[in-house]
Structure 1
Amino acid sequence: MTVQLPTSLALVGAGKMGGAMLDGWLKTGLPPERITVIDPNPSPAIATLAGERGMMLNPAAGGTPPQAVLVLAVKPQMLDEAAPHLGSLLKSDSLVLSILAGKTIADIKARLPRAGAVVRAMPNLPASIGRGITAAVASPEVSAGHHELAQILLAGVGAVEWLSDERLIDAVTAISGSGPAYVFHLAECLAEAGRALGLPADVAVRLARATVSGAGELLHQSDLPAGTLRENVTSRGGTTAAALQILMAPDGLQQLITQAAEAARCRAEELSG
């Protein structure tokens, strides 16, 4: 199947997530000469990459023609400052792909009056190693071609889930957007528990990191439900069962995770606009 890559793409913001997406697009086969990177403070790595691969970096005002795709990857609070300089990059059939947390499709259109087709997406940190998961929602103006193009670009950094209701993006933020931090904290907690049980601190850290990353990779490679994998580790009356009796109590881990996700969702709602 022929992959239809954009004829031109401008990436506004090349920080951790924008840079990860850029790396994914280059690996997908998007010719670097089609890419314009706009970032007032590009990292040395981005500056070097642009020079080596022939990407345009921070062209002079008015020096860039309208683009097929405009990707918004700046910090959300920088949108108001950046927006007035981006209108010239849009044409009637351009696709705007936004990964700005808390900024709705309506927010994007209010700040970019020329924007028609808008896809709002929420990737997560594992995108930096090509193992991300992104949820996306499209405005009514997004055509089948726009949708396919957004799918290609987002799939460059991992799996993609499409939503029919933009209001669900806040729930996505609470689960997969913030979720990596929860997993990292689990590794911290395991290491601290090991230290409390008498293990040397460095050994406890290595055991915790390897356990969390190994279990995650097993979950990734297996077709079995997470519950089945858990049961496979648990012998009746054994050590794991004793631990799970605590974790799976009514006021245990499930309740804590649900409360944490609800707090994240509420904060995402507060940040919208």
Structure 2
Amino acid sequence: MSSPSDQLIRSRQPEPAKPTSSFTVEIQGLSHWYGRGSTRRQVLQAVDLRIEPGEVVLLTGPSGCGKTTLLTLIGALRQVQQGDLWVFGQQLRGAGRGQRQRLRRRIGMIFQGHNLLRCLSAEQNVQMGSDLLEGLSYRARRDQAREWLRAVGLDDHMAKRPHDLSGGQKQRVAIARALAARPQLLLADEPTAALDSTTGREVVELLRRLAREQSCSVLMVTHDPRILDLADRLMRMEDGRLFKAEE
């Protein structure tokens, strides 16, 4: 059930436009602000972007230019203020809380803070992703969690809790948890930042394989020049504006 504030925002918005095609993500004229009055600051300026099923897009740019804000809007974690944003053909401008929650079940998110539950083991944290899938037994969800942990190189750390893991290991658990949900769209904010060069490349290759095999679109924010060649397309953001990155 949507809140009164959600209903008020929707009442002020024009009727949503229709997406022009079957892109996983389609954005037209997306702008966003933080603050109010004299402290109001624009962080996204008329962003246009399309991402196809199975495509891997890397997004670069200086800190504070709006990259993470764009990810959270696409991930339905924030309300769209201005412009059109479709994910899986669903318009997020004016979308209520329930619609955004349902949409997030189809999206995998990897953020720098890891967001692991401290009271759970690595295996149990990853199984939280598998728990989003319908029709799987407990054993199947557990086995899938173990498979993803092996895929990110944590075979010997499944029973460990987050406080017993290094920063890079926590990041790999977070990556495995996102993949365990079999997302149709994966949003990743600096997923290789805490990883060494070999592991970082292996993880991105794993994400690319997921994209190919499951038609999962990947949008990844990165400052890591070692993985740029793994992308289908490079984009760059500066001062809230999105550009095609120079080759």
In the superposition, the TM-score normalised over structure 2's length comes to 0.25
Higher helix proportion (structure 1 or 2): 1
> Greater relative contact order (Cα 8 A, min sep 6): structure 1 or 2?
2
Higher strand proportion (structure 1 or 2): 2
In the superposition, the TM-score normalised over structure 1's length comes to 0.23
